[in-house]
Structure 1
Amino acid sequence: MITVTSIESEESKLIAKADVSLPFQGLEPEGRMLVDSDGAAFVYLLGHKDEFIHLRFEQSTWETIHTYRNMEKPVYVHTGLQPVLLEDFWTEIDFLLDNIEGNHNYGKEFVDKVERIFFTDRRED
């Protein structure tokens, strides 16, 4: 499990900075995201050999994701060797957000956190 500590804009892309360096080769984007509602995180799946590595986007990164969501800049994570494009990142985020909004199957506390950051502008209308 790897936690993204920040997301920075660099030219026409976003760079997800991780809590550890990722010095291994063969890291592949899976193009899929999950939700950890208990841990309040969106989890991007990365493949490495025969296993999955969870790249966690916790609540501290959600404001940045919300800010850049409509711009859909490509998102990369640095591996120490080369950046890896997180394929379908925005498609997956949109899909998850559409499913989470108002859906307390994810847990009321998690839904409230997501709605407060990603849907506050809708409530102000």
Structure 2
Amino acid sequence: MIHASHIEENEGTLIVRTDVTLPFHGLEAEGRMLVDSDGGAFVYLLGHGEEFVHLRFEENTWNEIHTYRQTEKPIYVSTGIKPVELEDFWTEIDFLLDNIRGNQNYGKEFVNKIEKIFMEDSMEE
């Protein structure tokens, strides 16, 4: 499990910085995301051989995701070797946010936090 610490812009792309250096050879984007509503995170799946590595985007990164979401700039995770593009990241985020909005199956506290950060503007219109 890897935690995204922040997202920064670099020459027209976005780079996810993590809490660890990722010297993985063969790390591949799976193009899928999950939600850990109990742990309060979006989880991007990365493949490493026959295993999955979870890249967690917890609440400390949600404002950055919200800020960059409309740009849909390519987003990469820094691995220490070669950045890996997080394929379909924005499509997956949009899909999850659509499913979370007003859906108490994710837990009231989680839904409230998501709506406050990602949907407050659209709810006021």
Offset at 1:124? 2.4
AA at the equivalent of 2:57: F
What are the equivalent positions in structure 2 for 1:77-92 lying under 5 Å apart? 77-92=77-92
| Residue aligning to 2:27 | 27
Percent identity of equivalent pairs: 69
Distance 1:78 1:14 in 2: 10
| Residue aligning to 2:14 | 14
Distance 2:35 2:46 in 1: 14
Offset at 1:87? 0.1
Gaps of 5+ in 1: none
- SS of corresponding position for 1:24: coil
AA at the equivalent of 1:6: H
| Residue aligning to 2:57 | 57
Offset at 1:11? 1.6
TM superposition score normalised by structure 2: 0.98
Deviations 1:29-80 (A, max 9, x none): 0000000001110000000011000000000100010011111001100111
- SS of corresponding position for 1:80: coil
Gaps of 5+ in 2: none
TM superposition score normalised by structure 1: 0.98
Offset at 1:123? 2.5
Distance 1:122 1:90 in 2: 18
- SS of corresponding position for 1:65: helix
How large is the Cα RMSD of the aligned pairs? Answer: 0.6
Distance 1:9 1:103 in 2: 32
Over 4 Å off, 4+ runs: none
AA at the equivalent of 1:46: L
| Residue aligning to 1:42 | 42
AA at the equivalent of 2:41: A
Distance 1:116 1:76 in 2: 26
